[in-house]
Amino acid sequence: MKIKYLLVIAVLLVATRSFCNTPADTVRLTLTEVIALAKANSIAAKQAISEKETKYWEWRLFRSNYQPQLSLSGNLPGYSKTTTQVLQPDGSILFQQIHNDNSTLTLDFSQSITATGGTVYGTTELQRFTDFDRDNVLYNGVPYAIGYSQPLFQYNSLKWDKKI
């Protein structure tokens, strides 16, 4: 019986000792540390950080207007299965099914010219047409096309944005 009491007392001592060793809720700070925490966590500081990030992305957008642009577009797959009416030589109408795939892939690049407001561009394109009803495959392509586009009598936004 004595051993049970001793065991309970020992467990209570260990438990109270572990609760007593927990750190207090208070933190000791110097005046400069309090001022630094207040500056870092203030609404004005968070607003300044947000505004800085917004301005950074606006600057990146501004710079991207003067960089070469590259785009890849396409219609893969361009599968189509429809029924259409076909006028016959005797004046009657016959409905025929059309079952095909018309896929295209285009690669474009362009570079704006700040001084003139024009754009130098290039493109290449590949098209594949598959007629499933007649087992026919056709290819069409533009190996390359290069050109220059110059708007006449228009406002040159690139030139003025750079001045601003």
92 and 43 co-located in one domain: no
The domain total for the chain is 2
Domain boundary among 16, 49, 64: 64
Question: 129: Cβ–Cβ under 8 A, 6 or more apart, which residues?
Answer: 100, 101, 102, 137, 138, 139, 140
Is residue 9 in a domain?
no
Same domain, 129 and 156: yes
Q: At residue 63, does pLDDT exceed 70?
A: yes
Q: How confident is the model at residue 9 (pLDDT cuts 50, 70, 90)?
A: confident
Q: At 129, which CATH number?
A: 2.20.200
What domain range includes position 52?
Answer: 31-64
Q: What is the pLDDT of residues 30-61, one digit of tens each?
A: 999 999 988 888 999 999 999 999 999 999 99
The contacts of residue 64 (CB under 8 Å, 6+ apart) are: none
CA distances from 108 to 34, 70, 72, 91, 146 (A): 56, 6, 6, 46, 10
pLDDT at residue 122, rounded to an integer: 97
Please give the residue that has the higher pLDDT: either 81 or 22: 81
What pLDDT, on a 0 to 100 scale, did the predictor assign at position 52? 96
73 and 58 in a common domain? no
Vertex 162 angle, CA 160 and 164, to 5° = 70
For 93-116, write each residue's pLDDT tens digit: 999 888 899 999 999 999 999 888
76 & 88 share domain = yes
| Last residue in a domain, options 10, 44, 64 | 64
In a domain, 19, yes or no: no
Q: Is there a single domain that holds both residue 157 and residue 80?
A: yes
52 and 77 assigned to the same domain: no
The reported pLDDT for the residue numbered 47 is 94
Among 64, 86, 115, the domain-final residue is 64
What pLDDT score was predicted for residue 27? 85
Q: Specify the long-range contacts of residues 121-127, CB closer than 8 Å, at least 24 apart.
A: 121/146, 121/147, 121/148, 121/149, 122/146, 122/147, 127/102, 127/103
The rounded distance, in Å, linking the Cα atoms of 110 and 66 is: 10
pLDDT of 20 reads: 58
Regarding beta strands 69-75 and 119-131, do their DSSP bridges make them parallel or antiparallel, or are they unpaired?
Answer: unpaired
Question: What local confidence, expressed as pLDDT, does residue 139 receive?
Answer: 94
